[in-house]
């Protein structure tokens, strides 16, 4: 009954949640500094009894609610604020007004749902047994915003648990999904430069052509994935870009390659970096050339605590019924910088299906699509789930 009331109350904030989402969507911002989005959040929640903290590295915010009942527990709820460098093609009335920027990953909805959760929990402040931290975070799209906010001390002292939601436009309307253990992969970027010796394309014997060597490296990486790593602990190595920068009748001096490495364990993450460098360097050497490999570390594996996932499932079950929660059989090889929080604090991220009710959700545009759209009627459910996870943890901890 408690969580059913939360959902009804969240629906009462629906207009405000949608209005904030649309305002943020129309003015997307990139990277670690999202001042317009920050100001929209502060204005929307200015009437609430929250303590605000900001740091020097980002425009991220942490708002703290101190409940009246007190249990000594502390819980964090997180929503990300930054957009993607994409041109929107949805045709929505509130489409992006910023050229080359779009909320194609749903961070506008994450921020709006988190603001709604702040409204809900502040309205119940006298009965809240503990402290809630609302983490409004920029720089999730590859900028390590969560790590910067942690390093700035904005989440100090650390909470006892942490929860976040991520929308999925190509998932059934209102379905909440999660899993214990690895939910999302680590993500590292690799750059390989193969150095040869250029020449005329009609006389390759007088040159050292780096192009076929680069192609051999690409093929080798696929063999590495299937022959050096078990399918039970999968890895992904994808070459996304190859560039020689020359004319059709010229052999280039060098080839630049760029791609991504995804793993679900720390051990495989370290090993994959090593074997990629070994393969590239040795293949180039076999052809009398050199290869330089640079690995740029990305986000770690997003690992969800079993107890936190169990708690989320109970909250959703009490709120709308057990059919509304789905246990994922396998991780997803995307990445998330909420992983930095979950490295330090037990918690979970859940996916929220926002396909329009009755739609063929399998054919809906996914996140990172220029045509991605959201059924905003699901947002109060997300708000209530966040608030419910916080309230239940403060009351019971991870007790079953």
Give the orientation angle of helix 306-320 with respect to helix 2-12, to 10 degrees: 70
Q: What is the domain partition of the chain in residue ranges?
A: 2-184+301-396, 186-296
137 beta partners: 80
Digit-coded pLDDT (tens) for 158-196: 999 999 999 999 999 999 999 999 999 999 999 999 999
- Please give the CATH architecture assigned to the domain spanning 2-184+301-396: 3-Layer(aba) Sandwich (3.40)
In the predicted structure, residue 338 carries a pLDDT above the cut 60:
yes
The arithmetic mean of pLDDT across residues 119-124, rounded, is 95
Show Cβ contacts of residue 197 under 8 Å, excluding neighbours closer than 6 positions: 207, 208, 253
The arithmetic mean of pLDDT across residues 278-305, rounded, is 98
Digit-coded pLDDT (tens) for 23-70: 999 999 999 999 999 999 999 999 999 999 999 999 999 999 998 876
Q: How remote is the C-alpha of 291 from its chain's centroid?
A: 32
Q: What is the pLDDT of residue 361?
A: 87
In the predicted structure, residue 317 carries a pLDDT above the cut 80:
yes
Q: What is the pTM of this model?
A: 0.94
Q: Which of these, 172, 157, 152, 148, lies nearest to 80 by C-alpha position?
A: 148
The arithmetic mean of pLDDT across residues 294-303, rounded, is 97
Query: CA dist 309 to 176, 293, 305, 331, Å?
Result: 11, 39, 6, 14
Pick the CATH number of 186-296 from 3.30.70.360, 1.10.287.110, 3.40.640.10, 3.40.50.1100: 3.30.70.360
Mean confidence (pLDDT) of the chain? 95
- DSSP assignment letter at 157: S
Digit-coded pLDDT (tens) for 213-253: 999 999 999 999 999 999 999 999 999 999 998 899 999 99
Q: Which of these, 345, 368, 366, 336, lies nearest to 139 by C-alpha position?
A: 336
Higher pLDDT, 399 or 66: 66
Q: What is the pLDDT of residue 80?
A: 98
Backbone angles phi, psi at 7, to 5 degrees: -65, -40
């Amino acid at each position: 009954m408690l969580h059913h009331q939360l959902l009804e109350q969240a629906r009462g904030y629906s207009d405000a949640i949608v209005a904030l989402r649309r305002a943020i969507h129309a003015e997307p911002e990139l990277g670690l500094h999202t001042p317009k989005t920050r100001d929209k959040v502060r204005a929307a929640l200015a009437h609430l009894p929250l303590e605000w903290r900001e740091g020097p590295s980002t425009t991220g915010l942490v708002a703290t609610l101190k409940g009246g009942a007190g249990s000594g527990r502390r819980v964090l709820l997180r929503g990300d604020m930054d957009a993607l460098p994409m041109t929107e093609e949805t045709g929505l009335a509130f489409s992006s007004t910023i050229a080359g920027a779009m909320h194609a990953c749903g961070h506008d909805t994450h921020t709006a749902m988190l603001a709604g959760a702040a409204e809900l929990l502040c309205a119940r402040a006298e009965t809240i047994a503990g402290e809630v931290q609302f983490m409004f975070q920029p720089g999730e799209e590859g900028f390590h915003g969560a790590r910067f906010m942690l390093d700035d001390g904005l989440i100090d002292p650390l909470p006892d648990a942490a929860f976040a939601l991520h929308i999925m436009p190509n998932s059934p309307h209102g379905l909440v999904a999660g899993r214990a253990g690895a939910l999302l992969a680590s993500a590292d970027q690799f750059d390989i430069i193969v150095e040869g010796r250029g020449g005329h394309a009609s006389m390759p014997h007088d040159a050292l052509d780096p192009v076929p060597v680069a192609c051999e490296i690409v093929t080798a990486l696929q063999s590495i994935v299937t022959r050096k790593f078990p399918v039970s602990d999968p890895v992904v190595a994808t070459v996304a870009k190859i560039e020689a920068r020359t004319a059709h009748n010229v052999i280039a001096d060098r080839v630049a390659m760029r791609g991504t490495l995804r793993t679900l364990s720390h051990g495989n993450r370290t090993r994959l970096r090593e074997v990629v460098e070994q393969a590239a360097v040795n293949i180039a050497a076999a052809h009398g050339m050199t290869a330089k490999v640079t690995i740029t570390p990305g986000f770690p594996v997003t690992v969800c605590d079993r107890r936190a996932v169990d708690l989320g499932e109970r909250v959703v079950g009490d709120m709308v019924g057990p059919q509304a929660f789905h246990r994922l059989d396998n991780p997803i090889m995307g990445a998330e910088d909420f992983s930095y929080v979950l490295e330090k604090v037990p918690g979970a991220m859940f996916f929220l299906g926002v396909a329009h009710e009755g739609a063929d959700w399998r054919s809906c545009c996914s996140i990172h699509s220029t045509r991605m759209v959201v059924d905003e009627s699901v947002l109060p459910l997300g708000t209530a789930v966040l608030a419910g996870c916080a309230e239940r943890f403060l009351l019971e901890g991870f007790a079953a």
